[in-house]
Structure formats: structure tokens, C-alpha cells
Structure 1
Amino acid sequence: MPLPAPELPEPAHADLDSMLSRKFGKEIANYFSGSPLNRVSFLRADHTFLSTAFKHPSTSFLVFSNLQPLFKSPTELAYVSYKDVVPLTGEDPYMQTEDEMISTYNSSKFTPQLIFLGLDERNKNGLLYKDHYKGAPYFAIDATPKGAIQSAAEELAKNLQERGYHFGEARMHMTLPAEEAAIYAEARHLLDWNARNPFCAQCGNPTLSVNGGFKRACPPKDMGSLKGAIGSTNSVTPSDPTERPPCATRTGISNLSFPRTDPTVIMAVVSPDGQRILLGRQKRWPPHWYSTLAGFLEPAESVEEAVRREVWEESGIFLGRVVIHSTQPWPYPANLMIGAIGQAIPEGETVHLGHDAELEDARWFSVEEVREALRVGTSGLGDEAGPEYKEGGLRLPPKTAIANQLMTAVVNGFLGGDSKM
């Protein structure tokens, strides 16, 4: 029997009375948001801070292998300590400043990817930096067995397995508590982005991870390139054999590459009379399983325009008013789901699937039918529905998916986050 879906994160200042909450309802915080960590992003370039945080007794390291996080159980991540990761990282990977790291860059040296995730300010035994920044540091580390760390990573994996830990794909069950899921989402997103961007998009040379794992630089020199610049087409040998060819990323204000986030719209579509909800299904989904429509935001397109375009392309429905409901980070690999609710116009509610072949089916369901399915028919794609579900009934995504929250908002009259069933 599948584990019950975890509770969603509590929105910030949920109990505070305000003009906005009275007018628009309670804010919705979706799964993968609501991290308990203060990211202190302005300290990522401070290597004294990173060095102190890396070695602090309260520091926790979330280990990944092939983007799979370390688990104690399906509902609990496992963290390791400084002494566990030292065989992979060395005693202090932050002993040099960013400028020193860039000036002495050596592409032939392999080091595991580290991400500084933030400080847990609830931990009273955490570090105190500059009399102001307090908390237990959190890092993520890519311990995939490869390169110079292969044997050390394999040994670590063996030791972790003996402790009863295992690597597993969090996406398959999404059963982590909300705060754990948010930490995992930040770590996975950044590890995946770094792994996908080992080379400069402008000149093709290897890049260097800096700023606590949140930026990548294209150094002007490479101590690992003794025969001249990698990829250079110059016939003249440079006077400095470590010098790399000029690169546009080293000019102007910024010489760095930043993590990408792909905005995606996802929308609950309501009929003109407000009594029906449009849902679609893809061919690969289980029988009777439907969800809200979704698609990528395109360049020079507003969120509202993207919602109208995607709905028309996939279902032929024309939308009028569009309102934004809530958002959800989705680290597979780098999406921000922008949840919206749109209402079809009276002369544009006929379903037509002939524009885009993405959906196998799209149809209108009554609000009551969706309400009942939210009560008894929700599950992950690979899981069974609840015990009250009757075969042939509508099946929907679990509450950890923003699609569920959009449908819940509609059946509740657009305000509030709890389903009235």
C-alpha cells in the first residue's frame, strides 16, 4: 500500500491578518517549496565563511550519487558529517578565494561538486559568523563514483549501505516531509545544473564552479593545458602556455554562468458557467488518469499569454480571464511551475485536439466529479488509488503536485487551500 502523501509546507505568516489575505485568500505553498534554510546568498563568495561552515561540527552533508539522494527511509533523508566527505573533498576545498581558484585553475584536477545550501537557524549549536549569521550549515555533495574520487566514493557508498542507508530517486514516491523535500529540491537542481554545464557556452572550454556552487566561471588560464588553449584555432602559440583564447564571458560586468530556471505554466481551466473543469491526459498515463494542462513559457511572452496559448494549442479552448494562483519549484531538472486558473469564453469552449498531438484526450469534468476524485482518486503515476476508489472513476495527481492544488482551489471557489469534502 502506498505511503500517504506528506503535508504541504506552511506558507509564510500564515496566521497574519492582512488586507491581501482577506481579499485573495490564504497563500498556498506547494511541495518542494518552504525550505527551513536561510540561503544567505551574499555569503557564497566569502571563502572564510564557506571554509568555517564546511568544517563546523553542526554541518550536515546531503550525499547524491547519479542525482539520487541518500535516504534513511522513504520518508527521511540521510545526512553525513565532515569526516565522511573529507576523503572525497580534502580537508578544506574553500581554502582559496574565488580569485585564487580562478587564477590557478587546472582542468585536469577532478573535485566533487559541492553546493552550499544554507543555514538552519533553528539549530542553537550551529556556527556564529560575524556576530550576526547563525545556524547549522547544510551542503550537498555529488559522490558519483568517477574520476579521481571513484574509489573513495565507492568506499563511502559501501559504508553508508552498512549503516542502513540507500540512494533512491525522490521523484518516484515524493513521500519526504515538506521541509526535507525543499532541501532536496535545491540540492538536486544545483547539482544537475553544474553537471550539465562543464563547458563554456561561448568558447567551449571547461568551466569552474564558484560561489558555493551557484555560478560557473570561464577562467582565462588553465594549468592543465600545457600545449596551449583547449579548442584554440590560433596558429600562433601563446607566450603563456596556460593562457586560453579570449572569451566574451570574461568581458563586461559579469564573467559568470548562472543556474537556469525554466518557467512553465500549468493551469486549471474553468468553463464559462463555472461548473466544469477541463482536464487532459497523455497516452503514457494509467487508465482514467487526468491532470491540468501545462507547457513552457516562451520568450517575449507573458504568463497570461502563455496560459492562453498552451490551452488553445493542446485543447482548442479559448480563454478569457487568467489569474495566477501559486507557484512550485520542480527540480526535474529546473522548472518553476507557475500555477494559474483561466476561464473559457462562451464561444470558445469546444474541445479540438487537432492543433498539437501532445494529448491523447481532453474533456470537461463536472466540479462535483473532480471534487470526488480529489477525495478518493489521487495518487502518483505509479501508485494505486485510495481504498475508496472505484475502478473506472477519475484519477488525479496527489496533493504534492500543483495540479492538485489548482483543482482544489476551483472546487473550493478559488479561495483557501484545504479541500472541502
Structure 2
Amino acid sequence: MSTQAPASSQLFPSFETNNFYAGNTLNRASWLRSSSSFLNKALHSSRPSARIIVLQHGNPLVHGSGTSEGHLATLPWSRIASSLGRQALQDVFGAEINGLHRPANIRNKDQEEQEKVSEKDWKRATDSFVPPGLDIVFLGILQDGDSMTQQGQDQTNEIKGVPYFALSLTHRSPRGAQTTEQDTKDAQGLERLQEELLKEGYDFVDTRALAQAGSWPAGDAAMIAEARSLVDWNERMNYCPACSRRQYSLWGGWKRCCSSGLLPVLEELSSGASQSNTHLVRSLLGTSSASNSASSDSGEVLLDGKPPCPASGTLSNFSYPRTDPTVIMGIVSPDGNSILLGRQKRWPKGFWSCLAGFLEPGESVEEAVKREVLEESGVEVKSVTYHSSQPWPFPANLMIGCLGVASTTTIRLDLDAELEDARFFSREEVLPALEASAGWTLKRHELAAVDEDAGKKEEQIRKERERLGLKGDANARGRRLSGKEEFDKKDSGSVANVTSRSRSRSAGRVPRAAFKIPGPTAIAHVLIASWARGEAHIAGAPLHDGAQSGVNRGKM
């Protein structure tokens, strides 16, 4: 087999890459997230019906059998509401529907005069309030050619398109927190819905271990990335980082708010009658009576016995969903004929991938690539070229894919001891691995080895199925096989430019590979393929016949 890169068949496909989990076609309508009337209208829309992406431990609901087996399943809100014990047309979002009313007047701490609670402050604390017992998130609207006409807070027009939401079945109040009767009802309803769906033959799967995911339409995978990251963020951010009070969700799941914003309700109660659901407020604030006593270094103590929240009334980055930038890089040797790959000890036998790491504060992408490669492998990098990016919702990373050229090839693993091994692989070694991995995905037990958190969730899911008297994923093997068959029929936008080119379709054989690399739904595969097949422009890499042949013909 030749070690020369094949001639590029396209003009810079690596600059047009649309990786798995990218390509979201939803109009996120961010300007309407703070409108509870819009969110409720979207949730109850019937022509067409809103669709709910249902998650269990972050894993999406898929069809468990039939022609749609292994593909994303969505449900109408009416189906979910019935299991939750809610009326199909009952509003979900908003302060008043959840029993919160702006106090008309309150007294100051010395009880000397009455002050009005400003509408601005109340809106900041309650806009599109999400009931604490539910982790439900507005994702956006799938439109069919029509532009969305709603502007600002105007919801007089009909919603054009299909609204999408995400709902977590495994959301519960944080351990030890006070709860309301509605919280308990919601938790019971979510558990009931989970049991019903499993008994109806649906399944919940991690898309990293689902072969059919490679054939999903690009938009489906992208919606999962958005849904999974937002749901996970809402479930992790239970307490305010500034003052340790409980947080709750606003803006249809796009903002977290410190419960200190609801203290005016308790202040109103201490000076007279209150129209609000004080049980809800007290459960969030962790108070059992209208007032407590406590001391504070600042001398000022609020009615819940704690000092004022430092983040109150300010713009805080922890109030909004986070994305963690991560660099992942294919580093080629100085002569351009081999690529650096590494493996961690806990990974499946024979599994190798690109090096990767988080950006650090005050660091550019290029600097992060050079630092991470040096720390993990001892290899110095002289030039870096951006390739493409990929949302990676495990839980909320943005993988920034780069290619680079090494100035040295000596490997040393003793700097941060993160890798078990690292080495340069030749193109002759890599091409068979690419072909062998074209329709390959991690098995569930392999995923558990790669991701410890995924392994814990898999064990929880297994126990839940046993409790319900259901077998394990009995059709997992058949699903993997059918997924491989479907890979070649995939939506052209569902996976990047990594389709198999040398596989013998008549014989159905794949070249024998000495090792495994990630499947094509991972950006690591895309980076490796773009180098091995001569598709990538790599600044500073030597030109070979065919390799980078489009450099002088295309545009960056």
C-alpha cells in the first residue's frame, strides 16, 4: 500500500465540514425565551403539534423495534401531560401559573415604611419560571421555509413551524432539599412515564454507542446535543455559586436564578397576607418559617437568615448555560507521512485517538494545541491550522478540531502521565483503520470503560429494567448490525466528509486493521481521515504528490 496521500477529490472539504451533533436547523428564538405566554403557546400548539425529546440520564428516547429502530423518538406534550397528572392544556411556564405573585408592598427591615417591589426586579426573578419539579427546556422551532415573524414580546401571530422541547425523566430535587406537594407529584409522574415508555418497547441509548446514530439526519443529532447539554446544566446547577441558596430555572430552561430573588414574598408574608405560594418559596429558600435569625460579617441579614446574594442584580456568567472549549488535534510528523495518536489505560484494547485537552484561561486555540501536545506526549508543535468544530454534549464541550505539524517526534509520557501510550502511525497503518471504523461504534461496555460516568448511568438503567421485569437490551447486537447497513444510506449531512471510499462493496470486505480509532460520528475520526486522504490544508506541512493538491486552487 502506498504511503502517499491520495489526490483530493474535492476542494477543501475540511473547510465545509458539518460534524455529527452540529447542523442544528432549529430557530432558537432566543428573544422569546423570557415570554411565558409564548412558551406555553408553543408547548400546546397542535397544528403542528409540539414535539418533546425525552431523556433518561441524558440518553434520548429511541424506537426499540420496527423500521425506525434505533432512531430518535419524540412525543407530543399531551402524551406526557397525562402521565404527569397534568391537564393537556394546562400552562407550565410562568410565575402566576406556579403560584407566584408580585408583592404589592413590603416593609423594610426596620418596619418603618412600605416599599413597592419594582416590576423589573420581579420579572428578573420570575420570567418564564419553570416549576422546580420539572427539567423542561425550550429548544427552538423547526421551520419549513417560512421565517419566524414574532418580534420582541409580540406573540399575536400563530407559531409557524414545529416547537421542540426537551424533558428529563430522571430529574429530581437535590438530596436533602425541601420539596412541595407538586414536586412529589411531578417526580412520581416522571417515574410513571419512564416505566410506561420502557414497557411500550422504547429504549434510551447513549448516541456514542448507537450504530444507527451515524445515519440520523443531521438535525436530529444536533437537537440531542442542545437538549442534553441544557438538561444536564439545569440538573447540576442546584445551588447558587455566590451564596449557596437553591437555584431554579427561568427562560424556559436557559437561565438559572438564585432563590434570594423570591425573598420579597416572605417579607410580604411577615407584614400581612400573601397571595403567593409560600410553600414553594420556602422550599426553594430552605426556610420553615417566615423568618430566621443569623449573624453576618456584613451585619445585614435577610429573612432567610443569610446575607444578601453578591450576584443579586448583576450579570453573572453562572446564570447562563456554559460551554467548555476543548482542543482536539491531529498532529502530523515533520515529513507529513504519519500522525500522532494516543491511548489512555482505561480505553478498550487496541483503541487509539487524537490528543485532546481543555483550553486554559488566557490561552489561544493555537497555544492550547501546542501546550496539550507537549504535556501529553512530549512532542513540540510548530504550526497549527483550524479544521472544524463539533458540539460534544458530554456534558457541554465544544471540540475545536485542529491539525498541526510537529517539529520533533520523540515521545515522552512522564510530564502529566495522562496517556498510557502515544506514537506516530503511518498512512499505511491508518487507512485500514479508517475503513474498518466507517460503520463502527463503541459497544456499551466499551463506552463505560471510556467514560466512567456513562458506566454508572448504564448500571442505573440496567437496574431499572430489572425492577420492571424487562430484559436487558436484547437486540443490541442486531441494532449494531443494522446500523452498519444503514451507514451507507445516511443523510449526506449527518456525518462529515468521512464516507468510505476504498471498501469493496461487491465483496463487502473491509481491510484488516491493526488497531481501532473512533467512528465517524467523532471529530477525531474526521481529523484523521482528512489527513490520511489528503483532503486537509495543513499550514507548514510539506507538499506531496496529491496531498494538499487543492491548496492553490481553493480558498480558505
Is TM-score (shorter-chain normalized) higher than 0.5?
A: yes
> Cα gap change, 1:393/1:93 in structure 2, threshold over 3 Å: closer, same or farther?
same
Q: Which moved more, 1:311-320 or 1:95-104?
A: 95-104
> How far 1:241 moved relative to its partner?
4.1
> Cα gap change, 1:255/1:294 in structure 2, threshold over 3 Å: closer, same or farther?
closer
Q: Aligned runs of 1:67-86 on 2, under 5 Å?
A: 67-73=58-64, 75-86=70-81
Contact preservation (8 Å) 1:221, 1:243:
no
* Larger relative helix fraction: 2
Contact preservation (8 Å) 1:227, 1:241:
no
Which amino acid is the alignment partner of residue 205 of structure 2?
G
Q: Aligned runs of 1:230-379 on 2, under 5 Å?
A: 233-234=295-296, 241=303, 245-253=307-315, 257-345=319-407, 348-377=408-437, 379=440
SS of the aligned residue for 1:180 comes to helix
Q: Distance in 1 between matches of 2:133 and 2:406?
A: 53
CA RMSD of aligned residues (A): 3.5
Q: Which has the higher contact order (CA 8 A, sep 6+)?
A: 2
Task: State yes or no: 1:189 paired with 2:229.
Answer: yes
Task: State yes or no: 1:121 paired with 2:158.
Answer: no
Task: State yes or no: 1:180 paired with 2:220.
Answer: yes
Deviation string, structure 1 residues 158-200 (Cα, Å, up to 9, x no partner): 3323432233333322633132211111111001001000110
What residue in structure 1 maps to residue 442 of structure 2?
Answer: 381
SS of the aligned residue for 2:162 comes to strand
What residue in structure 2 maps to residue 198 of structure 1?
Answer: 238
Contact preservation (8 Å) 1:330, 1:337:
yes
Q: Which moved more, 1:91-100 or 1:298-307?
A: 91-100
SS of the aligned residue for 2:81 comes to helix
Q: Distance in 2 between matches of 1:256 and 1:232?
A: 27
Q: Distance in 1 between matches of 2:149 and 2:54?
A: 21
> How far 1:226 moved relative to its partner?
4.6
Contact preservation (8 Å) 2:327, 2:359:
yes
SS of the aligned residue for 2:24 comes to coil
Deviation string, structure 1 residues 187-233 (Cα, Å, up to 9, x no partner): 11001001000110000001120112111011422431353678964
> Cα gap change, 1:342/1:25 in structure 2, threshold over 3 Å: closer, same or farther?
closer
> Cα gap change, 1:264/1:182 in structure 2, threshold over 3 Å: closer, same or farther?
same
What residue in structure 2 maps to residue 36 of structure 1?
Answer: 25
> How far 1:395 moved relative to its partner?
1.5
Task: State yes or no: 1:403 paired with 2:394.
Answer: no
Contact preservation (8 Å) 1:221, 1:242:
no
Which amino acid is the alignment partner of residue 73 of structure 2?
A
Task: State yes or no: 1:49 paired with 2:38.
Answer: yes
Contact preservation (8 Å) 2:53, 2:73:
yes
Q: Distance in 1 between matches of 2:432 and 2:336?
A: 17
Q: Aligned runs of 1:135-214 on 2, under 5 Å?
A: 135-144=161-170, 146=172, 147-148=183-184, 149-173=186-210, 175-176=212-213, 177=216, 178-214=218-254
> Cα gap change, 1:344/1:183 in structure 2, threshold over 3 Å: closer, same or farther?
same
> How far 1:237 moved relative to its partner?
11
Q: Distance in 1 between matches of 2:45 and 2:406?
A: 56
What residue in structure 2 maps to residue 412 of structure 1?
Answer: 533
SS of the aligned residue for 1:221 comes to helix
> How far 1:133 moved relative to its partner?
5.9
> Cα gap change, 1:121/1:243 in structure 2, threshold over 3 Å: closer, same or farther?
farther
Q: Distance in 1 between matches of 2:293 and 2:346?
A: 43
Q: Aligned runs of 1:78-97 on 2, under 5 Å?
A: 78-87=73-82, 88=84, 91-96=90-95
Which amino acid is the alignment partner of residue 82 of structure 1?
W
Contact preservation (8 Å) 2:342, 2:354:
yes
> Cα gap change, 1:408/1:103 in structure 2, threshold over 3 Å: closer, same or farther?
closer
> Cα gap change, 1:263/1:55 in structure 2, threshold over 3 Å: closer, same or farther?
same
Contact preservation (8 Å) 2:94, 2:126:
no
- Seq. identity, %: 39
Contact preservation (8 Å) 2:54, 2:166:
yes
Q: Distance in 1 between matches of 2:141 and 2:362?
A: 36
Deviation string, structure 1 residues 137-174 (Cα, Å, up to 9, x no partner): 00011222745123212322233234322333333226
* Larger relative strand fraction: 1
Contact preservation (8 Å) 1:277, 1:366:
yes
Deviation string, structure 1 residues 369-389 (Cα, Å, up to 9, x no partner): 212211124533337999846
> Cα gap change, 1:280/1:242 in structure 2, threshold over 3 Å: closer, same or farther?
closer
Q: Distance in 2 between matches of 1:297 and 1:266?
A: 10
Q: Which runs of 5+ in 1 are unaligned?
A: 1-20
Contact preservation (8 Å) 2:70, 2:210:
no
Contact preservation (8 Å) 1:313, 1:355:
yes
> How far 1:60 moved relative to its partner?
0.5
Which amino acid is the alignment partner of residue 167 of structure 2?
I
Q: Distance in 2 between matches of 1:231 and 1:373?
A: 66
TM-score after normalising by structure 1: 0.82
Deviation string, structure 1 residues 242-276 (Cα, Å, up to 9, x no partner): 68631121133459711111111100011111111
Task: State yes or no: 1:221 paired with 2:262.
Answer: yes
Q: Distance in 2 between matches of 1:281 and 1:209?
A: 39
Which amino acid is the alignment partner of residue 170 of structure 2?
T
> How far 1:240 moved relative to its partner?
7.7
SS of the aligned residue for 1:380 comes to coil
